[in-house]
Structure 1
Amino acid sequence: MVVTTYFSFVKLSNLKNWANAAPQVPCYFIFGDSLSDSGNNNNLKTLANVNYRPYGIDFPKGPTGRFSNVELLGFEEYMPPFAKSEKKNILQGVNYASGASGILDETGSLMILRNDSSTEKLLRQCIYSIQIGSNDFVNNYFKPNFYNSSHGYSLSEFATMLVRQFAHQIKDLYKTGARIFALIGLGQLGCTPNAIATHGTNDSLCVTKLNDAAFLFNQRLIPLVMALNSKLTDAKFSYLNYSPMKVAHNRKQYAFWDGVHPTDASNVLIAKNLYGTRSFSDARPFNIQSLARKSSDDLI
């Protein structure tokens, strides 16, 4: 799997239980791009790092390397980035997300979690959230001057190839002991300020070809989730729809606060929805709250 610009994993890793109760799962591991990166890129030689203002402008700890903000699962602290994780806290969860990462090696490079038999039982009860794939389109397929992807694949073929590769990576994580997976689909890639400024919209509100790419990816990810649930019966997989975007008149209501990253207001809406939604179109077959309950099932 790979690491390279968006993945604060819908901030579900950062979510706290409204009632401040005990954690609903013993541990939470995050994989993805800058939508979930919480500081793994800080010391890397990359343009995809944000440990400086205005990032962190309204985050209690200031600029930490997070690309965007938010806070339901009952953890007292945010999952530490892999780059700063230590033995004492690694078993509660780690954030492996890295800004600009993708599914393909050429898009980025991802760290795979390893474990031994002494931690296997614990790791089977953790939630593993994965939200990745946008960079493979935005910073790969749709940049034909730098990558050959669009020359060798139609958009549909590329989406199929990505999900097939993603499936291998998910199964590799399963082999390490992971059993509860929250797989987040792609949002409307063509509606970001950066996409609109880069590609233009031809009188539409968003960039159609980018939204088509996200749709094709998600339409292939959904049946993969169903197939994994059918074949790997000792595990639970769920597809989560990452989509509610809005635009308003101040920073607490805008959908985006830079060219590609959602604001705190957007992340709160998305996180609350994915945590407790009962809509089959937004979570199938489980929402995050249900996945947390599955961690104590006899099957897991």
Structure 2
Amino acid sequence: MMLVGMVAAQDGDPFGDPFGDPFGSTQRGRRKEMVPALFIFGDSLIDNGNNNNLPSFAKANYFPYGIDFNGGPTGRFSNGYTMVDEIAVLLGLPLIPAFSEASGAQVLHGVNYASAAAGILDVTGRNFVSRIPFDEQIRNFQTTLDQITANLGAIDTAQSLAKCLFFVGMGSNDYLNNYLMPNYPTRNQYNGQQYADLLVSQYDRQLTQLYNLGARKFILAGLGRMGCIPSILAQSSTGGCSEEVNELVLPFNANVKAMMNRLNTNLPGARFIYIDIANLFEDIINNARTYGFSVVDRGCCGIGRNRGQVTCLPFQTPCPNRDEYVFWDAFHPTEKVNIIMARKAFNGDASVVSPMNIEQLAILDIKN
């Protein structure tokens, strides 16, 4: 069987997309489902509408967000697909619904619990008022699990869950909307290593809780080079990346890798893999022209220096050449970057995803 990603690049499609159009056409064919479901936990990088009905400042359910998404704005902080949207497609699944909207049979292919401004720590993101922290996302998963168990029964649910994928991308806001915020005391309480230790001790507990609920196959996304996002660039006196911020998150990524190895050893039947987002991002920046990018240091949509001081406002006109931009707004990548990262994580080598890639994890037969 020829798996997705092994297909040679088609003319006019630089991503080697087996379905032709990589940007959300409803005509894209679906391949055979590789896993029963994909469950998603995270923040605005992968939120697809869970904050829409919350009293929150962290929302993206207005134009021009979703300008390239079939159906328009949904709550995705992108011009189109997020990284997990493309991963779902590669797995042969439909786009995964937001927890706030999913009901009935919709939940059987998975649910997205991600929430903009959410963090590993409950206090993270309070500047935005309402958001759904990781602990609450796990409680929401328990609600879904109760619904599925009521339909399938406990044994069938447990057997099915062991084959499902659990994508977790947390931690960005614990830095951007906690540690680096002047109105938080965190920076005075912890140095960089101590804070990374605090975060990953919580993260370990939370992931173990998901394991205890039946999750077995985990995809963990590391933090990117956050010192190079337009929001941070806009604060720079030189206009360059903040190496201070980039170095601040290094202990977190190192701790997550160590935690992953520990959990792989200590939790029977569990398989955790790590996506090196920092390495993926660096590759895209260093080889921008190869990927077709011409703008790597400012948002396509936003206001102020680097279009990073104020994020994309309602009905603001974004750049017309979105596929040439690495960043969509002050914090988030464009759909094109999301798709590149998803495909590399899906069938890439150990330099970007380890100890195996998503495709290998999906087909792995786990014995409890």
Give your verdict on TM over 0.5. yes
Q: Given that residues 253 and 266 in structure 1 are in contact (C-alpha distance below 8 angstroms), is that contact kept between their aligned partners in structure 2?
A: no
Question: Which structure carries more relative contact order (alpha carbon 8 Å, separation 6+)?
Answer: 1
Query: Is structure 2 residue 163 aligned with structure 1 residue 153?
Result: no
Runs of 4+ in 1 over 4 A off after TM superposition: none
Q: Tell me what 1:281 maps to.
A: 351
Q: Given that residues 240 and 283 in structure 1 are in contact (C-alpha distance below 8 angstroms), is that contact kept between their aligned partners in structure 2?
A: yes
Once the two structures are TM-superposed, the CA of residue 205 in structure 1 deviates from its matched residue by: 2.5
Q: Given that residues 21 and 74 in structure 1 are in contact (C-alpha distance below 8 angstroms), is that contact kept between their aligned partners in structure 2?
A: yes
Q: Tell me what 2:250 maps to.
A: 215
CA deviations 1:116-163 (Å, max 9, x no partner) are 42522211111000001010001100113x111111100111011111
Q: Tell me what 1:30 maps to.
A: 40
Once the two structures are TM-superposed, the CA of residue 204 in structure 1 deviates from its matched residue by: 6.7
Between the aligned partners of 1:282 and 1:214, the Cα distance in structure 2 is: 17
Between the aligned partners of 1:232 and 1:122, the Cα distance in structure 2 is: 18
Q: Given that residues 162 and 366 in structure 2 are in contact (C-alpha distance below 8 angstroms), is that contact kept between their aligned partners in structure 1?
A: no
Aligned match of 2:104 in 84, 87, 104?
87
CA deviations 1:230-281 (Å, max 9, x no partner) are 1113111111111324351531021101101100111111111101111x23
Once the two structures are TM-superposed, the CA of residue 298 in structure 1 deviates from its matched residue by: 4.5
- The residue type paired with residue 184 of structure 2 is Y
Between the aligned partners of 2:160 and 2:194, the Cα distance in structure 1 is: 38
Between the aligned partners of 1:150 and 1:166, the Cα distance in structure 2 is: 19
Once the two structures are TM-superposed, the CA of residue 170 in structure 1 deviates from its matched residue by: 0.2
Q: Tell me what 2:92 maps to.
A: 74
Structure having the higher helix fraction is 2
Query: Is structure 2 residue 64 aligned with structure 1 residue 47?
Result: no
Between the aligned partners of 1:164 and 1:239, the Cα distance in structure 2 is: 17
Once the two structures are TM-superposed, the CA of residue 67 in structure 1 deviates from its matched residue by: 0.8
The residue matched to 1:31 in structure 2 has which SS?
Answer: strand
Q: Tell me what 1:248 maps to.
A: 294
Query: Is structure 2 residue 63 aligned with structure 1 residue 56?
Result: no
Gaps of 5+ in 1: 1-13
Between the aligned partners of 2:366 and 2:230, the Cα distance in structure 1 is: 46
Once the two structures are TM-superposed, the CA of residue 23 in structure 1 deviates from its matched residue by: 1.1
Once the two structures are TM-superposed, the CA of residue 19 in structure 1 deviates from its matched residue by: 7.0
**CA RMSD, aligned part only?**
1.8
Query: Is structure 2 residue 367 aligned with structure 1 residue 299?
Result: yes
Q: Given that residues 269 and 366 in structure 2 are in contact (C-alpha distance below 8 angstroms), is that contact kept between their aligned partners in structure 1?
A: no
The residue matched to 2:31 in structure 1 has which SS?
Answer: coil
The residue matched to 2:109 in structure 1 has which SS?
Answer: coil
* 1:254-273 equivalent positions in 2, closer than 5 A: 254-273=325-344
Once the two structures are TM-superposed, the CA of residue 94 in structure 1 deviates from its matched residue by: 0.1
* 1:200-239 equivalent positions in 2, closer than 5 A: 200=236, 203=238, 205-239=240-274
